[in-house]
Structure 1
Amino acid sequence: MTTLHTVTLEVANIASARSFYTAAFGLDQEIHVNIATAPTTGFRGFTLSLLVSQPANVDALIDAALAAGASSLKPTAKSLWGYGGVLQDPDGTIWKVATSAKKNTGPASRTVESIALLLGVADVKATKQFYVDRGFSVAKSFGSNYVEFAGAASRVSLGLYKRRALAKDAGVSPEGSGSHRIVLHGDAGSFVDPDGFAWEETPRV
């Protein structure tokens, strides 16, 4: 089964970006950075979500990110599905921090349980089939609206969502052009998907 292992975000300054991700989220295994070489404007077509175990952890991560230089796109709030908020980091990547839990069960921490990458695509069904043809296994599917792929070997999950719906969920305009400024690493080789997201073989260490 093909799996998404890590992602590389393209940034303006590697040292500054690494400093932010360490200070804000404590991430260094699944998120890598590289220098951006292509221009981009507006919505980049994807979001990254940090999924945590309780509301206090959402607050702890968002507070740390804002203190490190992120900007708020949607303040934290309760909803039918749980509790969360959306922010944008200094290099423009959109992050959602969320939990399905309604109540705290322990002291606040910045422990991230899992990471979810959502790609905003033009045609969910067609892109789903593109990935299935490359060995990805579907874990959840809701017609032409949403797909989540299985990823038993990774803490990073991959999903597909309509581009406009994803932008609305993030609190931004769906308009955007140029580079996505993200490279995905898995075990299906190098390719570019129908919406222009580039994949490379996971580096061997």
Structure 2
Amino acid sequence: MNTITDTSIESITIEAADPDATREFLAAAFGLGGRIRVRRSEAPTTGFRGFTVSLIVAQPSTVHSLVGTALAAGAVEIKPVAKSMWGVGGTVQAPDGTVWKVATSAKKDTGPATREVEKVVILLGAEDVGASKRFYLDRGFTVDKSFGSYVEFETPGSPIGLGLYRRRALAKDAGVDESGSGSHRVVISGPAGTDPDGFAWEPNPSEQ
């Protein structure tokens, strides 16, 4: 049986047809260092890959700064930066196809603009949120927040957060069509396993 027995997520690996181009984009757009890794993959994929990566920041000026550099580096704007009842955020799609959301719960700046990312969260689209939630609970994860079709797990001490969202709702939140098939083009670090929606986990790079 595939199992995940450790809740530490050290990094996310984006699989891309042109790894060098993706690394250049990430460096120019977000500067996330070792939290995001890249490797080559020619696995076929179409449409929405079933996940998004959220960058949580402290204030609106940082949202505007990161979205601006992402667009300058070649990303496509999906949702322009705007205020909502939750704060301020915007969504872009990277040249490799990954959907990135940059957001803050603050609605006003409280200091000088920075480019600091406080938290990286990968949201996995689940066809059956209850089944996927049980899978992760059985493997040692603890729920931090849960409402409706959204679940966020505790990942203490990890540079990456993990959440589940019903696939259709995740696509709607991102501003993309929910249809898609083939490879997710993402691998999460941690003990090896595959969840009910086909998201792959591999050992942390430091453990290989």
Q: What does residue 181 of structure 1 align with?
A: 185
2:111 paired with 1:109: no
User: How far did residue 14 of structure 1 move?
Assistant: 1.6
Question: Which amino acid is the alignment partner of residue 198 of structure 2?
Answer: G
User: How far did residue 155 of structure 1 move?
Assistant: 2.0
Q: What does residue 40 of structure 1 align with?
A: 45
Q: What does residue 27 of structure 2 align with?
A: 22
Q: What does residue 196 of structure 1 align with?
A: 198
Q: Give percent identity, aligned residues only.
A: 59
- Structure 2 CA distance for aligned equivalents of residues 160 and 27 of structure 1: 22
Structure 1 residue ranges, 4+ long, deviating more than 6 angstroms after superposition: none
Partner SS state of residue 56, structure 1: helix
- Structure 2 CA distance for aligned equivalents of residues 67 and 11 of structure 1: 20
- Structure 1 CA distance for aligned equivalents of residues 206 and 97 of structure 2: 28
5+ residue gaps, structure 1, are: none
Q: Kindly report which structure 2 residues correspond to 1:1-205, keeping only aligned pairs within 5 A, or say none.
A: 2-143=7-148, 145-186=149-190, 189-204=191-206
Aligned length: 202
User: How far did residue 147 of structure 1 move?
Assistant: 0.7
- Structure 2 CA distance for aligned equivalents of residues 197 and 33 of structure 1: 16
- Structure 2 CA distance for aligned equivalents of residues 176 and 91 of structure 1: 15
CA distances 1:116-169 after superposition (whole Å, capped 9, x unpaired): 1100001111100101111111111225x1111101121210000000000000
- Structure 2 CA distance for aligned equivalents of residues 71 and 107 of structure 1: 27
Question: Which amino acid is the alignment partner of residue 175 of structure 1?
Answer: S
Q: What does residue 3 of structure 2 align with?
A: none
User: How far did residue 15 of structure 1 move?
Assistant: 1.4
| Structure 1 vs Structure 2 CA RMSD | 1.1
CA distances 1:181-204 after superposition (whole Å, capped 9, x unpaired): 000002xx2111100000011121
Instruction: Confirm or deny: 8 A CA contact 1:41 1:177 kept in the other structure.
Output: yes
* TM-score normalised by L of structure 2: 0.94
5+ residue gaps, structure 2, are: 1-5
Further displaced range: 102-111 or 1-10: 1-10
Question: Which amino acid is the alignment partner of residue 173 of structure 1?
Answer: D
Partner SS state of residue 32, structure 1: strand
User: How far did residue 2 of structure 1 move?
Assistant: 1.7
CA distances 1:17-70 after superposition (whole Å, capped 9, x unpaired): 111101100112110000013100000000000000000000000000000000
